[in-house]
Amino acid sequence: MKAVEVRELVKDYGSFRAINGISFEVNEGEIFGLIGPNGAGKTTALRVIATLLQITSGSVTVFDYELPKEAGEVRKIISYLPEEAGAYKNLTGKEYLNFIAKFFGEGEKFQNMVQRGLEIANLGERINDKVDTYSKGMTRLLLVGRALMANPRLAILDEPTSGLDVVNAQEVRRIINSAVEAGTAVLLSSHNMLEVELLCHRIALINDGRIIASGTAEELKKEYDARNIEETFVKAIK
């Protein structure tokens, strides 16, 4: 079964066409990267799949659930981490995870979910401090913990290491790989081309609302006679 199937997806904002007939699929057990410059349509595509935006035309299915008809079922099995996500700053890190976990269940299920969140975030004693005392890296680790603690079948991650230093970014990549090993499919967007090359099993390059190339990092580098994905992308959009 495919985790995600996107076919001829179009998304308009009034007279502006943000996505212009893109098609791609994400396999189970895969990290799929959607990369492109600002305004290319990456975040719009992620938000459509996350059920936050309506489709203008085309089709999207998530584990065979069709959007928008079965959006409620999709929301039960996905987790979405926006680039600019924030946590409630007046709560401690642990209180925040408790608050989110209550939406998913009670009793043992609730306790297990919080415990997974604590282990993923791995903030030590700082988990008991208020979020407004956290660095950006600590907040991002907490949010990654929130996104993955429910063991989603699909995690949609928009710039998962945005603004992080090398150490924290490496930790987030480790967490994502661990989630995939545990059975989660991941669809991510990132401006960090090295990160995409390190993490993703397959990549789609998007520009002006269209996918202009897709494949593994090695396939794309070979196709464009490039040394790395950054160079591949520059050549592809010329």
DSSP letters spanning 37-104: STTSSHHHHHHHHTTSS--SEEEEEETTEEETTTHHHHHHHEEEE-TT----TTSBHHHHHHHHHTTT
Each residue of 93-138: pLDDT tens digit?
999 999 999 988 889 999 999 999 999 999 999 999 999 999 988 9
Residue 69, amino acid: K
Residue 85, pLDDT > 90, answer no
Cβ atoms of 59 and 68 closer than 8 Å: no
User: Residue 40's pLDDT is what?
Assistant: 87
| Burial class of residue 236 in the structure, from the number of CB atoms within 10 Å of its CB (0-12 exposed, 13-18 middle, 19+ buried) | middle
pLDDT tens for each residue of 201-236: 999 999 999 999 999 999 999 999 999 998 998 898
Sign of the CA dihedral running 48, 233, 81, 177: positive
Average pLDDT over residues 73-78: 95
Asked if 233 and 193 touch (Cβ cutoff 8 Å), the reply is yes
- Give the pTM: 0.92
Residue 188's DSSP bridge partners are 33, 157
Q: Which range among 19-23, 44-48, 184-188, 231-235 shows the weakest confidence by mean pLDDT?
A: 231-235
- Using an 8 Å Cβ cutoff, are 21 and 8 in contact? yes
Class (C level, CATH) for 2-237: alpha beta
Band of pLDDT at residue 144, cut at 50, 70 and 90: very high
Q: Has residue 1 got a pLDDT over 90?
A: no
